[in-house]
Structure 1
Amino acid sequence: MPRIITYSVQTTETVKNILKNKLKMSERFIRKLKLNEKITCDSKYLKINNIVESGNVLTIDLNFEEESENIDSINMPLDILYEDDWLIVINKPANMVVHPSVLHRDDSLANAVKYYLDSKNEKIKMRFVNRLDRDTTGIVVFAKSEYIQESLAMQMQEGKLVKEYRTIIEGILEGGGTIDKPIKRQEGSIMLREVAEDGERAVTHYEVLQNMNNMSLVKVILETGRTHQIRVHMKSIGHPLVGDDLYGNKSELIGRQALHAYKMIFIHPITNEKMEFISEIPDDMKKIIKNE
C-alpha cells in the first residue's frame, strides 16, 4: 500500500524547514528522503534547500522497500485492537517477548507480526513504538513507517503519549501519589534494576482503585519509561507487584507479575486525530480482583 503524505504550503520557506519544523522529521530521516528523491512538487523532485511558495503542495513518499532480516515469519495468534495504513495496535499476551532473542528466536511478537505482514505481501521493517516485559500484558504499537515511529517516539519524549497501566500490588495502599526516584541497572546484573541516586530520572504516578485481601489494584501512569520502572518503583515503597518473583515474591494467585498495559493515548501523526485505545484487564488479574 502506497504510504504518501501531502503538505499544502502556507508561507514561502525551504523544503527542509517544512520537513523539520512543520512535519517534525528528524535530520536523519530528512537525509534519507533526500538521498532517495522522495520529495516532489508538481511531479518534480525537490532538494531540501529548494524554496516553495504558498499554494504549492509537497508530496512526500514514505515507501521504502525494506524488511527485517533474521526475523522468522511464524504463524501465531495476533490480537489486533486497531489497524490502519500507518500503524497496528496489538494486545500482547503474557509469556511473549516483543523482540526475538537467543532464547526466543521464533516465539516473539515480532515473529507473529512478520507472518501477518508477509501474508499481506507487505515488506516492512519491525518498528515497535513501545516495549513490554515478557510477562506484562497489554497494548503494544507497531509503526508501519519510520516516520510514524519517530513521531510517536517524540510524543513520548514530550509527554504527549499517555501510557496507563493496571497492576495489583502486595499490601494495602491508600490514595495516590508520585514516585520520583532515579533508576539504574543493578551492578553485576544484566536484567535487574534498582533505585539509585546516580540513575536515570524515573517518574511514576499512581492512584489506588481498590483494596482487597491485603492487596491493592492500582492505576499507574508513566511519565518516563525506564526498564522495569513500575516494578522497581512499587518495590521501593514497600509494595512489590503480586507475582513478581524478580522484585518481590512468587504467588499462587498468578503465574507472572500482575501488570497490564491498559490504555494508550496519542495524536495520530498523519490524521492529527486523538487516538485512545483500551485493552481490558486479562482473566488472570480479573480472577484476583473478583475473589476479593
Structure 2
Amino acid sequence: MSEKIELEAIVPGEHTGKRLDQVVALLFSDFSRSRLQAWIKEGAITVDGKQVKPREKLYGGENIVIQATIEAMEGHEGEDIPLDIVYEDDDILVVNKPAGLVVHPAAGHRSGTLMNALLHHYPDIAVVPRAGIVHRLDMDTTGLMVVAKTIQAQTELVSQLQERTMGREYEAVVQGVMTGGGCVEEPMGRHARNRQKMAVVTMGKEAVTHYRVLHKFRAHTHVRLKLETGRTHQIRVHMAHINYPLVGDQLYGGRFRMPKGASEETQEMLRGFKRQALHAKKLELWHPVTGELMSWEVDLPSDFKALLDVLNTDSQQSDQFDQSTF
C-alpha cells in the first residue's frame, strides 16, 4: 500500500529571500520538516521543473511541485486485537489503553501491540508514520492515548507535543506519605549502567513533572500528575528520584517495603500489585484540523480502584486502633 502526493504552489512575494526548505515548510505545513527535507533531496520537490538544493534562495513567483509517494510500513501485520475507543473522527482516534498492551513492536514484543491492532482496524493508517502513534504509554500503564489517522493530523499533533500545548494528566499511587504537592524539574537520560532504565542525569534532556496530593493514606499517597515534557518513564523516574516510587513499579520501585501493622488484605494487595500504579486519566489537545480544544477523561481501571479501596480501609482501621488506645 502506498499514497501518492501531488501538490503545487506558487511562492508568494512575502517569502522572497527565504531558502527552499523554509518556504516548503510554510507552504506545505501538513508535512513534517524532516519529510519535506527528504523529498527535496530525493528530487520529489522541484522548483520551476528543476531540482534545487534545500538551502537555495527563492525570489517569489516560482512554481513548486511535489510529486512523492509515501510507502506503507513494512514488517508489521495487523492483528484483530480489541480497542477501547473513547473518541473517533476522520482525523484522530482516542483510545483507553489497558495494562499489558505494548504500544509499539520492539524486541520481545513483535506482535500483540497497539500498532498491530491499529493496522488491522484501520488499514489506511499504514501510510502514516508509526501508524499514527504520536506518544506512548508504558506496557503496564493504563489510560488515554491519541492516534493520528492521517499524515496531516500526525504532523500537527507532534507539533503540539513539541510545543507543550497538549495536556496530559495522570493519577498514581506512590509509596510514602507526601506532605504536599510540588514540581520535579530534573533532566533525564539513559541510566549509566542499566540500559533498560532511565535516570536523572546532569547532562540529560529537560524533564518537568508537576504533582499534587489527592489523598493521603497511612503509608501511601494518591497523587495527580501533569507532564510538561514527555520523557521515557518520566513520572516513574521523577517520583523515585524524590523517594516516592510508584506502588508496583518493578523497575524503579526499589526494595519492597510493607507498612508496619498492615492487615492481611493490605499485604496481599501490595504483594500482588505487579504493575506500576499509573493511569493516564485526562487528555487535552487542539483538534489538528478544526482547531477546537478537546478534552477527555476516563475512569481508573478496576485494579487501581481496588488498590485505593484497600489502602483506604487500612488507614481507617489504623485510625480506629489509634483512637481505641486512649
Structure 1 length-normalised TM: 0.80
Count, aligned residues: 278
Q: Is the 8 A contact 2:171 2:225 kept in 1?
A: yes
CA separation in 1, counterparts of 2:168 and 2:103?
A: 17
Secondary structure of the structure 1 residue equivalent to 2:81 = coil
Aligned-pair distance for 1:37? 8.1
The residue that corresponds to 2:34 in the other structure is: 28
Q: State percent identity of aligned pairs.
A: 37
Q: Does 1:255 align with 2:261?
A: no
Aligned to 1:284, the other structure's residue is in SS state helix
> Deviation per CA, 1:32-77, whole angstroms, max 9, x where unpaired?
7888989xxxxxx9x9x6968xxxxxxx99x965422111211111
> Match for 2:242 among 237, 241, 247?
237
Q: Alpha-carbon deviation of 1:25?
A: 4.9
How far did residue 175 of structure 1 move?
A: 2.2
Larger radius of gyration: 2
Contact 2:125 2:149 in 1 (8 A): no
Equivalent residue of 2:164, what SS?
coil
1:105 positional shift:
1.5
Name the CA distance, whole Å, in 2 between partners of 1:150 and 1:222.
20
Report the CA distance shift for 1:233/1:136 in structure 2 as closer, same or farther (over 3 A).
same
Gap change, CA 1:216 and 1:72, over 3 Å in 2: same
One-letter amino acid of the structure 2 residue matched with residue 274 of structure 1: L
Alignment of 1:139 with 2:144, yes or no, is: yes
Residue ranges of structure 2 left out of the alignment (5+ in a row): 52-57, 258-269, 313-326
User: What residue identity is the alignment partner of 1:261?
Assistant: A
Contact 1:264–1:276 (8 Å) recurs in 2: yes
Give the gaps of 5 or more residues in structure 1. Answer: 39-44, 53-59
Q: Does 1:124 align with 2:127?
A: yes
Is 1:75 matched with 2:94?
no
**C-alpha distance in 2, partners of 1:83/1:50?**
43
Mapped partners of 1:83, 1:150: distance in 2: 18
Task: Tell me the TM-score normalised to structure 2 length.
Answer: 0.72
Deviation at 1:27, TM superposition (A): 3.2
Alignment partner, residue 227 of structure 1: 232
Distance change (3 Å), C-alpha of 1:27 and 1:65 = closer
Instruction: Quote the Cα distance in structure 1 between the aligned partners of 2:118 and 2:153.
Output: 17
Displacement of 1:147 after TM fit?
A: 2.6
Task: Compare the two structures and name the one with the higher helix fraction.
Answer: 2
CA shift for structure 1 position 20: 3.4
**RMSD (CA atoms):** 3.5
Paired residues of 1:265 and 1:275 also in contact (CA < 8 A): yes
